[in-house]
């Protein structure tokens, strides 16, 4: 029997952490991801005591969540989520680095001046160097171009991703928020360079089915996996907003979601979907996760978590049965139309 040493903090991860997770292959690559991954977008900044994200990260690993998704400007403030992760890596997760899949991204505003945004080689390489310093990593497993920069030739952006892999600073590359056409062209350019496109990261949920307009198919054709973000529509596909906007909720304090985004129409749809979920013995969030994972082209759904309890509850989605054809049909009237968002 193999026993594991405790970290300096005295913590030992669960010995059965791989017992129940069925990992999914990212496209035609050799890379396997858990069906639900942990994103550090909004709950791992400097505005929270370290004990909370530390507990979430440790519990996620206990439950087989090996993929942690970051970006340079996740916070607040920018860079704070990577710094938080780096602290937990140093205190708890360092001995298990080779069991973890860490991704980061660059593409949006990060620092002042002409080189702190976009898709240039200058920005992407400099940003990744900063991310490695903040996290304390020697390399990331996946590095994404976070958005298509129309002012930079796609050849330059993809050439930078290829150079990053060849430098040893990343093992795989991905793109995020790219159109179907730019996805196909990016994959062609990367294939010619000898660094295949491994992952595409689009926003996808019952309320935002834009990727069904071509992104999912373009990624599949390119042999890339799909790691979807915001599968819970930033909480609108949870029980949080079934009765309006509660005080202190994300819609009252986030730069990415406002009370105006929680419309009467969306609330009515969420209530109807909640009834479908209840019929399955699940929460609305669990139903929403099962829905995005119903598509075999989706490799993983990236969720946030503000507490260990929330993380555990959402991961229970994987314990439920697959959606039946009747359940998918019952969801359809309350979902966005295929290829569109609400």
**CATH class for the domain made up of 24-334:** alpha beta
Whether residue 147 is predicted with pLDDT greater than 50 in this model: the reply is yes
Q: For residues 234 and 291, which has the higher predicted lDDT (pLDDT)?
A: 291
* Mean pLDDT in residue range 38-45: 95
CA distance 280 to 286: 10
Q: What is the pLDDT of residue 9?
A: 77
Domain ranges across the chain = 24-334
Nearest by Cα to 103 from 29, 51, 37, 179: 37
Cα–Cα distance measured from residue 98 to residue 111, given in angstroms and rounded to the nearest whole number: 31
Percent of the chain at pLDDT > 70 equals 94
pLDDT score recorded for residue 2: 45
For the segment 231-289, what is each residue's pLDDT rounded down to a tens digit? 999 899 999 888 876 665 565 556 666 677 778 999 999 999 999 999 999 999 999 99
- What is the pTM for the complete model shown? 0.94
Calculate the average pLDDT of the chain: 94
Other Cβ atoms within 10 Å of 77 Cβ, number: 12
Q: Could you give the CA distance from residue 126 to residue 106 in angstroms, rounded to a whole number?
A: 10
Task: State pLDDT tens for residues 85-100.
Answer: 999 999 999 999 999 9
Per-residue confidence (pLDDT) for residue 1, from 0 to 100: 36
Average pLDDT rounded to a whole number, residues 303-326: 96
What is the Cα 314 distance to its own chain's centre? 14
User: What percent of the chain clears pLDDT 90, i.e. is strictly above it?
Assistant: 89
Supply the pLDDT for residue 256: 62
Q: Which pLDDT belongs to residue 8?
A: 76
158/185 Cα distance (integer angstroms): 10
The residues, any chain, with a CB within 8 Å of residue 309's CB and separated by 6 or more, are none
3-state secondary structure of 251: helix
Closest CA to 126 of 102, 148, 110, 137: 110
Summarised one tens digit per residue, pLDDT across range 87-146 is 999 999 999 999 999 999 999 999 999 999 999 999 999 999 999 999 999 999 999 999
pLDDT tens-digit readout, 10-29: 899 999 999 999 999 999 99
**171-191 mean pLDDT:** 98
């Amino acid at each position: 029997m193999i026993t594991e040493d405790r970290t300096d903090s005295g913590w030992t991860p669960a010995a059965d952490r791989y017992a129940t997770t069925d990992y999914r292959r990212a496209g035609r690559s050799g890379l396997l991801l858990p069906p639900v991954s942990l994103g550090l977008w909004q709950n791992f900044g400097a505005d929270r005591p370290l004990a909370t994200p530390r507990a979430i990260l440790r519990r996620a690993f206990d439950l087989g969540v090996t993929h942690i998704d970051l970006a340079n400007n996740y916070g607040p403030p920018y860079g704070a989520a990577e710094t938080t992760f780096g602290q937990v890596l140093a205190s708890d997760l360092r001995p298990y680095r080779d069991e973890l899949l860490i991704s980061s991204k660059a593409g949006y505003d990060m620092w002042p001046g002409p080189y702190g945004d976009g898709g240039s080689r200058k920005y992407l390489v400099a940003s990744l160097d900063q991310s490695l310093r903040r996290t304390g990593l020697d390399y990331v497993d996946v590095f994404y171009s976070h958005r298509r920069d129309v002012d930079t030739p796609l050849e330059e952006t993809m050439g930078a991703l290829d150079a990053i892999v060849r430098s040893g600073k990343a093992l795989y590359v991905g793109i995020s928020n790219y159109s179907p056409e730019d996805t196909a062209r990016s994959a062609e350019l990367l294939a010619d360079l000898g660094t295949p496109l491994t992952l595409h990261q689009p926003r996808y949920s019952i309320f935002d089915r834009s990727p069904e307009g071509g992104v999912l198919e373009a990624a599949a054709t390119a042999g890339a996996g799909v790691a979807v973000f915001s599968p819970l529509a930033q909480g609108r596909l949870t029980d949080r907003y079934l009765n309006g906007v509660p005080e202190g909720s994300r819609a009252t304090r986030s730069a990415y979601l406002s009370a105006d985004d929680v419309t009467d129409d969306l609330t009515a749809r969420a209530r109807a979907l909640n009834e479908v979920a209840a019929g399955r013995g699940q929460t609305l969030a669990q139903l929403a996760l099962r829905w995005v994972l119903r598509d075999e082209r989706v490799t993983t759904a990236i969720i946030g978590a503000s507490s260990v309890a929330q993380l555990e509850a959402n991961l229970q989605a994987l314990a439920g049965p697959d959606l039946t054809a009747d359940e998918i049909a019952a969801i359809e009237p309350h979902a966005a139309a295929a290829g569109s968002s609400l």
